[in-house]
Amino acid sequence: MLKELSVWRDRILEHAAITEGEIVLDVGCGDGLIAFGALDRVGEEGLVIFSDISQDLLDHCRSLVEPLQVLDRCRFVCAPAEDLAPIATGSVDVVTTRSVLIYVQAKQQSFHELYRVLKPGGRLSIFEPINRFCYPEPPHQFLGYDVTPIEETAGKVRAVFERIHEPASSPLLNFDERDLLTFAERARFAEIHLELQATIKQPKPLDSHDETSRLALGNALEVVRQSVESHPKRGHGASALASRSRTVHSVSATLGRDDAVL
Ligand SMILES: C[S@@+](CC[C@H](N)C(=O)[O-])C[C@H]1O[C@@H](n2cnc3c(N)ncnc32)[C@H](O)[C@@H]1O
């Protein structure tokens, strides 16, 4: 696991203040980064619900759980964050979610759902990257790189990206930490704690021999090619590139339902 990810995982779990015997729901569990950490904390009497919109990822998580012989302490629920219908109202102690709502258009509805499934006094611990922090960039920069000598070309590439991922409506870009607070307040979370971490650093020099650089460049060029050829509305390449922006602006909010003190 990447070191940076384990740091975020630990912070999310610490903010969740999970105790033994509790029921934890991890929304958008992916391959289980947060859910497996929660499993250690709920102990033998507790329960972790892995939930995601991808049945494949849930099956993958189940295959990782099986050899651990803790299947009786796990549930697997295929549901979108914006409609957690399979989870009963007021049924879980803690909800965790990391880097999921950024992909969801209906963020306010998701917060209502996260609130609905919590027991009175339950907690939500959430982390989301804020892409808007590094957007828009000044004309001489592209993904953090100084593109002064090719500023005009960079501007054309930027226009392609903006056509594919219209910033005002793209769920990847159309919110910041203040919006997350508002969503939480409107969902009736009573106590809210927000941490904002902003880091600006020089991007790694692009190196044609380096696989990451090649992938980044390949993605960018592929998006431009697709756009020129077919003018698609959306493209995975763009999404991958957007989430790889050089400036990471992260928010971790721990939200207590009703009178929970965190
Ligand atoms: C970047 S991954 C994060 C996975 C995991 N939370 C982690 O911390 O490693 C995003 C996850 O969100 C899931 N996802 C995307 N849209 C979703 C939605 N509307 N509802 C629930 N999960 C969603 C994806 O299937 C994916 O597993």
Tell me what pLDDT residue 219 has. Answer: 67
pLDDT band, very low/low/confident/very high, at 177 (cuts 50, 70, 90): very high
CA separation for the pair 83, 12 (Å, rounded): 22
Of 205, 225, 235, 211, the residue nearest 143 (C-alpha): 205
Q: Which residues have CB under 6 Å of ligand 1?
A: 27-30, 33-34, 52-54, 57, 80-82, 98-100, 103-104
Distance in Å, CA 90 to ligand 1 centroid: 22
pLDDT band, very low/low/confident/very high, at 234 (cuts 50, 70, 90): very low
CA separation for the pair 57, 63 (Å, rounded): 10
Residues in the chain: 262
- Rounded to an integer, the average pLDDT of 165-190 is 93
Looking at the DSSP bridge assignments, the partners of residue 257 are 189
- Rounded to an integer, the average pLDDT of 229-248 is 33
User: pLDDT tens, 55-77?
Assistant: 999 999 999 999 999 999 999 99
What one-letter code names the amino acid at 94?
Answer: V
pLDDT band, very low/low/confident/very high, at 114 (cuts 50, 70, 90): very high
2-129+173-197+249-257: what fold?
Rossmann fold (3.40.50)
Looking at the DSSP bridge assignments, the partners of residue 27 are 51, 97
**246 close to 212: Cβ distance less than 8 angstroms:** no
- Give the closest residue (by CA) to ligand 1 atom 16: 103
- Rounded to an integer, the average pLDDT of 42-53 is 98
- Rounded to an integer, the average pLDDT of 203-207 is 73
Distance in Å, CA 146 to ligand 1 centroid: 32
Query: Which letter does DSSP use for residue 2 in this model?
Result: -
Listed by start position, the domains of the chain span 2-129+173-197+249-257, 133-166+203-240
Counting ligand 1 atoms within 8 A of each CB, the residue from 2, 97, 100, 239 with the most, and so the one to mutate, is 100
- Rounded to an integer, the average pLDDT of 79-104 is 98
**What number of other Cβ atoms are within 10 A of residue 258's Cβ?**
14
Tell me what pLDDT residue 218 has. Answer: 65
What one-letter code names the amino acid at 198?
Answer: A
Distance in Å, CA 158 to ligand 1 centroid: 27
Tell me what pLDDT residue 168 has. Answer: 87
Distance in Å, CA 239 to ligand 1 centroid: 14
- Rounded to an integer, the average pLDDT of 196-208 is 78
Beta strands in the chain (DSSP E): 23-27, 47-52, 74-78, 92-98, 118-129, 141-142, 145-146, 189-199, 248-257
Beta strands in 154-234 (DSSP E): 189-199
**183 close to 167: Cβ distance less than 8 angstroms:** no
pTM of the model: 0.82
